[in-house]
Structure 1
Amino acid sequence: MTTSTVVKRAFTEQETAAYIGMSRSFLRQSRMEGQRKNRTMAPPFIKIGRAVRYLKEDLDQWLESHTKRDHLSQKEGTYV
């Protein structure tokens, strides 16, 4: 008997929240309201019928797109 491992490509909201380290309410709110001033942009999502799913490659790209900072007073590209 052969067992195969299925690599998951589409995550539920709960799985996505755990994967990116953000709350489900962040995902839900940003999905409903869209981009708001001074708010972190939510990762892209897809809808299959009524189901909302997040693709792993989109989540990885979203995580990589955020600037890595050494200190909170550090602004993008400049040092205070």
Structure 2
Amino acid sequence: VTGGVITSAGVVLAATFGALSVLPLVPSVQTAVIIGVGVLLDTFLVRSLLVPALALHVGRRTWWPSALARPAPRPVAAPAVERVPAVS
């Protein structure tokens, strides 16, 4: 559901650092390229593929320490009712 927001935020952040790459200062260009590539990798690889795969693999423990991490309660079977034979 939030994939579009995360992707667009990552692209905007990478473009912001990409704007630094036109500065005439070499350290600024190097920093901008490294951070821009890192943000794009994080946006498209980590948050789109690895995090959902890890959440699927880990299961309910993903939500630790929330109550959602606790195992689902098992339904309790009703006690058996004894039938007393009718006396005729």
Q: Give yes or no for TM over 0.5.
A: no
Structure number having the greater helix percentage: 2
**Which structure ranks higher in relative contact order (CA pairs < 8 Å, sequence separation ≥ 6)?**
1
Structure number having the greater strand percentage: 1
